[in-house]
Structures are given as structure tokens and as C-alpha cells.
Structure 1
Amino acid sequence: MPTTPPPLQPGDQVAIVCPARKASHEELAAAVATLESWNLRVVLGTSTNVAHHQFGGDDEVRRQDFQQQLDNPEIRAILCARGGYGTTRIIDGIDFSRFAQEPKWIAGFSDITTLNCHLLRRGHQSIHGVMPLLFHLEGGSDSLESLRRALFGEEISYAAPAHPLNQFGTATGELVGGNLSILQTLTGTQSDVPTAGRILFLEDIDEYLYAIDRMLVHLDRTGKLAGLAGLVVGHFTNPQDNTVPYGQSPGEIINHYATHYNFPVAHGFPVGHEPTNQALIVGRPARLVVDAQGTQLSYV
């Protein structure tokens, strides 16, 4: 089983960094206050409050900052300020050897799926959850609380209502997944992770419907779906369409491929680019139950 970093303790020091898109100190001020209310001490990395076009500094600034926080034994967790794009540009230049000796929590989602998968490939759990720039979205208090509980090692479990596209069943396996477009981008790289015997969760934002189908075709052709224990479908926010409609919703597109297999499928799960973005621990064994009453996901 992938290693579990130790839970945070009151007084621990945590860092906020920008491995992808830029974020200013002003934009992060409310999140810093929230983390301090959790009795944590916050360090703002050198990739915050700087900009290189869209990025939080150029590739070397972002890589060095992440490496510094990764190697600093006083930093007990690294929170990625936001997603966007850029983590894949620096991931191969980061040395995880010292981290492997003393793992710490790394948290984020969207573009940070790169880190979630890269860590799992190396045998470490991480958190797919709300990021500091999004801490205070209206309606997101439960998501923020789920992140706190994950960081501090408290029990978490989730439920989702019944959905007409659900496939019933029960599955156990380590959680893997995140942003669909990033998962496709990682295929064949040093951040690619096996999915066989695992519970895969998916989410995305602003993607064209045909592109969602194309990415599902790719996952299916590369064997990522065939051996799944289960599939969890999160938010597919603001899907785009062409002048001639594609004719299927994101859920229907996913269902087209999922029905080829016998694993349970849970649609409408609260994870992704919405205020309801519950923290999931990537790499942790979980139990997925999908029945007529809805979906339950808990850790085992």
C-alpha cells in the first residue's frame, strides 16, 4: 500500500506554492488566515506573488520553490495555490529522494493531478482537494472541512444521491485519478499510474464534448478502463459544444465506455471544479458502494 504521510499537528508549518498558474499574496490572504485558524504556521513560497506570463514564475522559479519546500523538514505539508497549467513542465526536474525518507502531505487538484499521480507512481499517498485560491467559494465550506480532516488524519467518508447512469455494485481498491485531460497527458510518462484493481475518479472543466469522448477512447484503448475495480464520475464543469451538437452529455459519453465492463460506476460525485469538491486521498484503499439509494465512498 502507498505510504501515508503523518497527520498534521497544531503548530506545524505548511507551505503554499505555485507549481502552475500564478497567485498573489493578496489573493491568498484569506486562505492564509484560514490555515492559521487551524493552528498552522504558513510559509508563502517564492513562486507566490511573482509572475511569468500565466505562470507563478518561470519554470526554474517554480521548480526550485517546490524542491525547497519538499526538502525542508520543517514543512509538514505543501498546498498548491491553484491549478491552471504548468506542473508537467517542471515535474521531471523535481527530486523526491529526500521526500521519500520523510513523506509529507501534498494537496491540490486540476493541474495538480500531475503531482497526485507522480507521487502514487512512487508509492506515496496525496490529497486531491480544494486549493487555497478556492478556499472560500460560496457553498464550499464542506469541501474545505474535508481538506482539513484529511490533513489532520480525521475520518472522512462521502455519499452521493442516486443517479440514472449509475452501475450498481461494490468495489474495493486504491483511489487513483483526477483531471481527465491531465490523466491522458500523463499516459506513457514517468507520472503515469496503473489503474488495474483501483477505483478511478474523473473530473474536468471547459472541455469540448468531442474531446471528452476522445480522451475516453484513449483511456480505453490503453487499457486504463478494462481492469478497474470501480469508476467515480465527478463534476464536468462548463462543457463546450460545436455548432453541430455532439449529442451526448459528459456522463453519457463516459457511460458509453463504462457499460462495456462490469465494475460499479458512481455518477454525480462531489469532486472537481465546483464548490462541492470533497478531499480524496489518492492511493488510499477505499470501498465504493453503488446501489439504488446512491453512492457511498469510505476508506478501509
Structure 2
Amino acid sequence: MTTPPYLQKGDRIRVVSPAGKVNRNKVLPGLELIRNEGFELILGAHTLDSHFQFAGNDEERLEDLQQALDDPECKAIICSRGGYGVIRFADKLDFTNFKKHPKWLVGFSDITVLHCLLQKQGISSIHGAMPAFYTKEDNPTESYTELIRVLTGEKTSTEVPANPNNKKGNATAPIIGGNLSILYSLLGTPYEPDTVGKILFIEDLNEYLYHLDRIMHSLKLAGKLKNLAGLVVGGFSDMKDNDSPFGQSVEEIILNTVKDYNFPVCFDFPAGHIDRNLPIVLGENYLLKVKEKTRLVRI
């Protein structure tokens, strides 16, 4: 796995919107923080555009992202937000120049599609917060400061409080994953994740409990769970139930699906569609230790 060069003051960062349109009032303060760090910031031509629910049409969003991938002077690409739309042009992206000048790609949610594409290219990327989550009450958030630490080359370690549903154990392996619904949507495509021997990170938002159960069983039937080294469960925010209850919690659904396997499972990891969305360097080796408390350490 190739690790892109870490950033230094003055380096170029490009900001693109490959999926949903942005609320500029939420995004611009976060972009100003990046400028204040001393980086050169370039917005794609359509980063702040609007085309129905998208930030420009497919061709425009593809053009911005491809230009960022091809730019030899760019050291990082930060996606403005998720939403929906990357899969519409995923097969048209050309990574030829990107592999000659690899750079960090940052984002989560729908950006999981790009993370999976980069795994196939053998290049690490960062599941992390996007600009709308960089400030709160005019102050930098922990999600932002931890992202900058990772982008500039600092190793990170996260301690997670005990959860009674955790399965204890240790694992040292590359970590992959992202938004669970996106991972599910890529099954059967050239971009589906290779989970064998990996620590799988998952998170999601606004799904019905029965649909979470369907996704987890689909991953199991596809053979994506049995050979994991470990499972890290992030935020599952605003989950929904029917008038006729499903009868299991998020934790119970996940544990029921992996009950026949012996790898460690950590719940409540601070990443996903939650305020405390700490960066995870996908493709890199981590040590996962699930005991009374959990530690996830990049090594």
C-alpha cells in the first residue's frame, strides 16, 4: 500500500464536490481554517455549484475531481461533503497520473466509493471529517485538529470507552471500510472491498433496523465477514424502526451476524455521521486491542 506524502506549510490542497451540493455557509468557515494553516487552497470550478441535489452535473463533478487527481502539485484532495453521486461516474475516473503523484483524499459517507477505488489502486486515503464539520461556535473541532495531525504525518491512537457488547481480542492488520450502505452497494462491482485479513470499519446514518439486518446478512453471504481480522463499529446515527418493531438494536443485529466468528469487535468508535468524527487512514496497518477499553493505534 502506498502512503501519499505528508503535508507541509504552503502545500496545495484542492477542494471538490463529487456528490451532493453544499451549503456554502457551512463549508466556507472550514475552508478558511485550512487557509489559516498556511496551505494553498484551490476550489474546483463547480465545488459550490448546484444541479438539483448534486454539486453540478455528472460531467462537471467528474471534471473537477479528475483535475484534482491529475494535479502534480496537489498534496491533498478534500471532499466538501458526501450525499450521493460518486458512483454515477466512478468507472470514468483515470488514476494514471494520480499514481505517479499520489496525494491524500479525505472524506466520508458517499466518499466511501472513492476510498474503495483507491484501495484497488493500492493507495491509502483518509476517512475523515469534511469542511462543514471543521468548526463549531467559531472554534476548530477535534475532528479538524486530528485530521490536520494525520495529514502532516503524526501517528494517532484512539481510546474508546468500554461497551458491554464488545468482543474482546487483539488484531494487527490493514483497516478498510467506511459507510456501510455504500460498501453494500458495491458488492458485485469491480470496487467491492477485499476484506480478507482486514480490520473492517463500518458506520451509517438514517437506516431502518431491518435494512441494517439485510445489509449485514448480505455481507455475510458474500463472504465479507468470515475472514476479518477485526470489526470496528462507528456511529450509527438516527436509525429508524417500523411501527411493528424489528426487535433488535444496532449492536444486537451486528453481533448476531458475526456470532460464529472469533475476531474482536469494537462498538462506539468515534467516526461517522457524528460530531466527533476522528480520522482513520484506510489501507494502513492498525493495532486493535479490545479489552475493558478499546485502543485503535496506527502503526
Instruction: Provide the TM-score with structure 1 as the length reference.
Output: 0.97
- Per the TM alignment, residue 29 of structure 1 is displaced from its structure 2 partner at its CA by 1.6
**1:288 aligned counterpart, secondary structure:** strand
Instruction: Kindly provide the amino acid, as one letter, of the partner of residue 234 in structure 1.
Output: G
Instruction: Kindly provide the amino acid, as one letter, of the partner of residue 166 in structure 1.
Output: N
RMSD: 1.3
Match of 1:81 in 2: 80
1:148-172 C-alpha deviation (Å, 9 max, x unpaired):
1111111211010010100000001
Match of 1:203 in 2: 203
1:216-243 C-alpha deviation (Å, 9 max, x unpaired):
0010000100000000011100001101
Instruction: Kindly provide the amino acid, as one letter, of the partner of residue 165 in structure 1.
Output: N
Say yes or no: does 1:19 pair with 2:15.
no
CA distance in 1 between partners of 2:130 and 2:24 (Å): 14
8 A contact 2:133–2:141 mirrored in 1: no
Match of 1:269 in 2: 269
Gaps (5+ residues) in structure 1?
none
Gaps (5+ residues) in structure 2?
none
Instruction: Provide the TM-score with structure 2 as the length reference.
Output: 0.97
CA distance in 1 between partners of 2:183 and 2:172 (Å): 21
Say yes or no: does 1:180 pair with 2:196.
no
* % identity of equivalent residues: 45
Say yes or no: does 1:297 pair with 2:284.
no
CA distance in 2 between partners of 1:229 and 1:24 (Å): 39
Alignment of 1:242-281 (within 5 A): 242-281=242-281
Instruction: Kindly provide the amino acid, as one letter, of the partner of residue 125 in structure 2.
Output: S
8 A contact 2:166–2:290 mirrored in 1: yes
**1:115 aligned counterpart, secondary structure:** helix
CA distance in 2 between partners of 1:188 and 1:285 (Å): 26
CA distance in 2 between partners of 1:156 and 1:54 (Å): 35
8 A contact 2:209–2:239 mirrored in 1: yes
- Per the TM alignment, residue 13 of structure 1 is displaced from its structure 2 partner at its CA by 1.0
1:126-185 C-alpha deviation (Å, 9 max, x unpaired):
000000122224697221111111111112110100101000000011000110000001
Match of 1:43 in 2: 42
Match of 2:193 in 1: 193
CA distance in 2 between partners of 1:23 and 1:142 (Å): 22
Task: Give 4+ residue runs of structure 1 displaced > 4 Å after superposition.
Answer: 137-140
**2:89 aligned counterpart, secondary structure:** helix
Match of 1:5 in 2: 4
Match of 2:228 in 1: 228
Match of 1:215 in 2: 215
CA distance in 2 between partners of 1:136 and 1:211 (Å): 33
Instruction: Kindly provide the amino acid, as one letter, of the partner of residue 215 in structure 1.
Output: I
CA distance in 2 between partners of 1:239 and 1:233 (Å): 14
Match of 2:127 in 1: 128
8 A contact 1:234–1:270 mirrored in 2: yes
Match of 1:286 in 2: 286
- Per the TM alignment, residue 65 of structure 1 is displaced from its structure 2 partner at its CA by 0.5
8 A contact 1:137–1:275 mirrored in 2: no
Count of residues paired in the alignment? 298
8 A contact 1:201–1:233 mirrored in 2: yes
Say yes or no: does 1:168 pair with 2:182.
no
